[in-house]
Structure 1
Amino acid sequence: MSLSITKFHWIRHAPVKAMMPGRIYGQRDVGCKLNDTERLLSLADQLPKEGIWVSSSLSRTKKTAKAIGEQKGWKVRPLAYKELMEQNFGLWQSKTWDELEDDPAGDAFWKDPAATCPPDGESFEQLCTRVQKCINHLIKKYNGQEIICVAHAGTIRAALAQALDMTPASALRLKIDTLSLSQISHFSDPDKDNTWSVERVNF
């Protein structure tokens, strides 16, 4: 068996609709704005025509994937994985970050945002575990192919943490804009340890 390269094209979904700045939407299934056709076309131009499309199970990622494909006349039907969803912020979803000042758990979260679990939610560390498990599954299932993943900022940070051997706390420092592209490649070699390369982040 020779060296096999599996390339991931990570795209954060389009901006959400009708959400005030600073509001936590997490796993809420909110709509997205798909009017920036220039940016959608720019993304499509940088993607392989024959790639495997995957997304989270939230509609904003599926709709973004479909809109990108439409710029090239591609019929995109992404495979949806719930493991690629954004972090579950539990009872904090729909609140603003400023409102956490009145929540006893908010202080602990700001002290350790990677390890602290929001009430009835999950920590960023837990998100990293589930996302990275899904990535390993995709590598095994689509080894040697190009995978286009339309997901969320937290999901993409988790993917980059895996490729760069970063701690979850360090990965939270990465800025991931809406409709941005991050590209990483996984190298499978039977004679060596598996390795990663990072070509682009938040491009």
Structure 2
Amino acid sequence: MTVEVTNFWWVRHAPVKAMMPGRIYGQRDVGCNLKDSERLKQIADQLPTEAIWVTSSLSRTKKTAKAIAEQGGYPIRPLAYKELMEQNFGLWQSKTWDDLEEDTEAAAFWTDPATTCPPDGESFRTLCQRVEKCVTHLIKKYPGQEIICVAHAGTIRAAIAQALNLSPANALRLKIDTLSISRLQHFSEVSRPDNWAVHGINF
């Protein structure tokens, strides 16, 4: 019996430059702070040296991937997937969560943040669906390989939800820090084509 094992190393991007607590960045293409070379080196030392590198289409993930690889001393050519972008918060992007306290459209969001869609944006449930499709695609395209995905907190929560069969609401409880690693392992065999193991979250 042949079992194909595909390892996913999810890394959240470096902190956004001049990050303001509570600011909603979503799919805004903002810069990131790469000054913590010690942490970047720690991450590089934990990742496999031969792997498929994947990022979202936002620059903060691409720049973080490049900085990690430079610390590790290995060249990379990351593949960018728009499906791995952060949740689209639509008209709420650039605002703070405090700004939304008096917003009548946000009332439903506070009641059900997993399925409520921000104006001109997408729900977290929709994010989970697109991330799952992308992960499934990567498994089929690169079976049995090491895949390093530099992405966003929402994206990584969605990937963990897929592995653990969590509801979107429960996945939102996961804390994913900037410059953290979450390692997931996918097992594929004929009788059970979609098994997962979680080796660590937010380390």
Q: Is the shorter-chain TM-score for this pair beyond 0.5, marking a shared fold?
A: yes
2:196 match: secondary structure: strand
| Superposition CA RMSD, Å | 0.8
1:101 match: secondary structure: helix
Question: What is the match of residue 178 of structure 2?
Answer: 178
Deviation at residue 19 of structure 1 after TM alignment: 3.1
Counterpart of 2:62 in structure 1: which amino acid?
Answer: K
Where do 1:148-163 residues align within 5 Å? 148-163=148-163
Superposed CA deviations along residues 29-83 of structure 1, whole A, max 9, x for unmatched, are 0000001011101101111111100000000000000000001221222100000
| C-alpha distance in 2 between matches for 1:46 and 1:200 | 12
Return 5+ residue gaps in structure 1 as ranges: none
| C-alpha distance in 1 between matches for 2:162 and 2:34 | 30
Question: What is the match of residue 37 of structure 2?
Answer: 37
Question: What is the match of residue 22 of structure 1?
Answer: 22
1:75 and 2:75 are equivalent in the alignment: yes
Counterpart of 2:165 in structure 1: which amino acid?
Answer: D
State the TM-score, normalizing by the size of structure 2: 0.98
Question: What is the match of residue 90 of structure 2?
Answer: 90
Superposed CA deviations along residues 100-140 of structure 1, whole A, max 9, x for unmatched, are 01221111101000000000000000000000000000000
Question: What is the match of residue 117 of structure 2?
Answer: 117
| C-alpha distance in 2 between matches for 1:159 and 1:40 | 22
Deviation at residue 191 of structure 1 after TM alignment: 2.5
Counterpart of 1:56 in structure 2: which amino acid?
Answer: S
| C-alpha distance in 1 between matches for 2:158 and 2:149 | 13
2:128 match: secondary structure: helix
Question: What is the match of residue 169 of structure 2?
Answer: 169
Deviation at residue 149 of structure 1 after TM alignment: 0.1
Deviation at residue 193 of structure 1 after TM alignment: 4.2
| C-alpha distance in 2 between matches for 1:101 and 1:80 | 35
| C-alpha distance in 2 between matches for 1:192 and 1:199 | 20
| C-alpha distance in 1 between matches for 2:176 and 2:17 | 18
Question: What is the match of residue 130 of structure 2?
Answer: 130
Counterpart of 2:58 in structure 1: which amino acid?
Answer: L
Deviation at residue 167 of structure 1 after TM alignment: 0.1
Question: What is the match of residue 59 of structure 1?
Answer: 59
Question: What is the match of residue 7 of structure 2?
Answer: 7
1:140 and 2:136 are equivalent in the alignment: no
2:122 match: secondary structure: coil
State the TM-score, normalizing by the size of structure 1: 0.98
2:9 match: secondary structure: strand
| C-alpha distance in 2 between matches for 1:148 and 1:57 | 15
| C-alpha distance in 1 between matches for 2:178 and 2:192 | 36
| Further displaced range: 13-22 or 141-150 | 13-22
1:71 match: secondary structure: helix
Question: What is the match of residue 101 of structure 2?
Answer: 101
| C-alpha distance in 2 between matches for 1:154 and 1:52 | 21
Return 5+ residue gaps in structure 2 as ranges: none
| C-alpha distance in 2 between matches for 1:122 and 1:191 | 35
Deviation at residue 18 of structure 1 after TM alignment: 2.1
